[in-house]
Amino acid sequence: MAELTKEAHELTVSLDWRERHVSTIRMLRLYARTFARNGSAMLGLGLVLLFLTTAAIGPYFVPFPDDATGSVHIERKLQPPDAVHWFGTDEVGNDVFTRVIVGARVTLQIACIITGVAMLIGIPLGMIAGYMGGWVQEVIMRITDVFLSVPGLMLAIAIVGALGPGIVNAMVALSLVWWPGYVRLVQAKTLSLKNEIYVDAARSMGAGSLRIVFVHLLPNCTSPIIVKASMDMGMAILGAASLGFLGLGAQPPFPEWGAMISVARTYLPDWWWYSFFPGTAIVITVLGFNLLGDGLRDILDPKHRE
């Protein structure tokens, strides 16, 4: 018996990474297979990957890097798409292709910051509200309700109006209106999870509230959070572009897609390429994140699985 025990010890200690995580690997494989069979999800993943690649390496390969920061080449203004200027040029002769590519990085930053800040505010508040219950929950949820009752973009416009236009203020404003959704989501999930028996079990072993919340509850909330975050990336991009379009976000000549369209719309319909390409970039990116989010929900959220 002692011999057996020793062998078992050595066996387990000698297991490599792959053998120890065999269950996780199997689960990920299942996820990958389910995901791969879902056509629209794969399309979404492809679009998001295209967007991420563009944001990561695009700015190093653009044909006219100076055009991104607003140089002036009046001699080649408003030229239609051709072999040199793939997406044409704008009213001061900047290459639209360059500006759309560089804009991807700006857009990604905006989307990540807005979603990230919203999660940082929303998830802890939701967990506290759901776990504590009582008056703490009442206070947090009523404040959340107030925020949710005002249309997000309207509130963001009001906040930017007060802070003054600009890309940073636009991000602050959008982050401030974005968190209530996470509070709602996480609070509802926590509320249902905290009555699970394994939470009682953890308490009977002497785990404190913080440990229960972060070690036992939070990992079980991640699936809906990931799904929502993926969807929100698209919506945040749209929100930031809307503020840019209204002149409250990024200011021209900053290469942000919404701000570009804001200027370009006055050149419609004759110089269509100026607004068409940034607009298409927004559509494709938002579509990509939404399809990806839908696909992720199909594999991560079994209740909605068909």
Partner 1 sequence: MLELRNLSVHFDVSKRGKGKTIVRAVNGINLNIGRGEAVALVGESGSGKSTVGKAALRLVDTTDGHILLDGVDITHLERGRQMPLRRKAQMVFQDPHSALNPRMNILRSVAEPLILHTALRGQALTRRVIELLEIVGLQAQFLYRYQHELSGGQKQRVCIARAIALNPDLLVLDEPTSALDVSVQAQILEFLKTLQSDLGLTFLFISHNLAVVRYLCSRVAVMYLGRIVEEGATETVFTTPKHPYTQALLSAVPWPEATQPKGHAPLVGDIPSPVNPPSGCSFHTRCPFARERCRAEAPTWRALAPDHLVACHFAEDLAAS
CA distance readout (Å), 37 to 34, 122, 269, 291: 5, 33, 41, 14
Instruction: Select the residue interacting with partner 1 from 66, 145, 200, 301 (CB under 8 A).
Output: 200
Say whether residue 207 binds partner 1 (CB under 8 A): yes
Say whether residue 138 binds partner 1 (CB under 8 A): no
197 CB burial (10 A radius; 0-12, 13-18, 19+): exposed
Nearer to partner 1, 207 or 226 (CB): 207
Say whether residue 151 binds partner 1 (CB under 8 A): no
Say whether residue 203 binds partner 1 (CB under 8 A): yes
Say whether residue 202 binds partner 1 (CB under 8 A): yes
Taking residue 70's Cβ as centre, other Cβ atoms within 10 Å add up to 13
3-state secondary structure of 32: helix
| β-bridge partners, 89 | 95
Q: How far is the CB of 16 from partner 1 (least distance, A)?
A: 12
The span of 5-13, 139-147, 175-183, 228-236 binding partner 1 (CB under 8 A) equals: 5-13
Residues in 215-254 that interact with partner 1 by CB under 8 A: 216, 219-220
Q: How far is the CB of 201 from partner 1 (least distance, A)?
A: 5
Tokens representing residue 61 in the block: 């390969």
Q: To 10 degrees, what angle do helices 152-163 and 167-193 make? A: 140
Instruction: Select the residue interacting with partner 1 from 201, 266, 268, 305 (CB under 8 A).
Output: 201
Say whether residue 34 binds partner 1 (CB under 8 A): no
Instruction: Select the residue interacting with partner 1 from 2, 13, 162, 210 (CB under 8 A).
Output: 13
Instruction: Select the residue interacting with partner 1 from 11, 32, 120, 154 (CB under 8 A).
Output: 11
Instruction: Select the residue interacting with partner 1 from 120, 208, 266, 301 (CB under 8 A).
Output: 208
Say whether residue 32 binds partner 1 (CB under 8 A): no
Q: How far is the CB of 131 from partner 1 (least distance, A)?
A: 15
For residue 178, give the nearest of 108, 104, 109, 228 by alpha carbon.
228
Distant-in-sequence, close-in-space partners of 180: CB < 8 Å, separation ≥ 6:
122, 144, 145, 147, 148
Taking residue 113's Cβ as centre, other Cβ atoms within 10 Å add up to 17
Q: If binding means CB under 8 A, how many residues of this protein chain bind partner 1?
A: 28
Contact (Cβ atoms closer than 8 angstroms) between residue 188 and residue 130: yes
CA distance readout (Å), 70 to 166, 198, 256: 17, 58, 12
* Site of interaction with partner 1 (CB under 8 A): 5, 8-9, 11-13, 15, 19-23, 196-198, 200-208, 211, 216, 219-220
